[in-house]
Amino acid sequence: MSDNPAVPPAPAGSATVDPFIWTDDAPGLISFLVEVFGALEVPEARTADTDGLVLHSELRIGDSTLTIADRKPGWPYMPAFVRVYVEDPKATLQRAADRGARIVTEPTDFWGDVLSRFADPFGHLWWVYKHNPAAASWDEGSDSGSEWAQAESGADEQSWESFATPELTAVHSSLMEAMAALRDPRTR
């Protein structure tokens, strides 16, 4: 059995897994993502429902498609948690903050990459990464990866805190704070 799963065919512009976000003010979120990530909207995909709410829209970010629709009255709040790779996390965070986002995690070294996060004004949490292709991956035996793999395998039955760095601790604590602060935009 291969460690790399087969990649099934997908339409042009779609990856194997593409998020679907239900939100309040889909047009506002679409505009926000165009401005923050340079997303490209697929104009012919935007469809309004009979109540005027966005039933379906598609944005292209890099090699992926993000589908966005309006949450209907009475539907539960379901925050999205999305990871996006960018060239410049600091600039991306600044664009997000300029448009009302709350910075959750400043750019932080994380397993050889850079990780940051923001909470958008629509109630969703975004992981913003810059990948460092030169860094060893968890599978390639980097020190951090080996410790992570050992912890994951249950070899020592220890928590992540046993190998935590100050950066990892900051990344964890900022996530815990951000999750505790998420609220349904309709009840703010």
CATH code for position 143 = 3.30.720.110
The pLDDT confidence band at residue 18, using thresholds 50, 70 and 90, is: confident
Please enumerate in sequence order all residues whose Cβ is within 8 A of that of 168, keeping only pairs 6 or more positions apart, or say none: 110, 160
6 shares its domain with 95: no
Average pLDDT of the residues in 154-182: 79
Boundaries of domain holding 40: 1-78
How many folded domains does the chain comprise?
Answer: 2
Residue 188 lies in a domain: no
Q: Which residue has the tokens 């709040």?
A: 77
CATH code for position 21 = 3.30.720.120
74 shares its domain with 91: no
Pick left, alpha or beta for residue 35 (phi over 0 → left; psi -120 to 50 → alpha; otherwise beta).
alpha
* Per-residue three-class SS string for 73-94: CCCCCCCCEEEEECCCHHHHHH
Q: Distance (Å, rounded) from C-alpha 173 to C-alpha 178?
A: 9
58 shares its domain with 140: no
91 shares its domain with 129: yes
Residue 24 lies in a domain: yes
98 shares its domain with 68: no
Residue 131 lies in a domain: yes
Q: What is the structure's pLDDT at 144?
A: 46
End of a domain among 13, 44, 78?
78
103 shares its domain with 29: no
The pLDDT confidence band at residue 157, using thresholds 50, 70 and 90, is: low
The pLDDT confidence band at residue 142, using thresholds 50, 70 and 90, is: very low
110 shares its domain with 166: yes
- pLDDT value at 78 more than 60: yes
Average pLDDT of the residues in 10-17: 77
166 shares its domain with 96: yes
88 shares its domain with 115: yes
pLDDT tens digits for range 43-75: 999 999 999 999 999 999 998 999 999 999 999
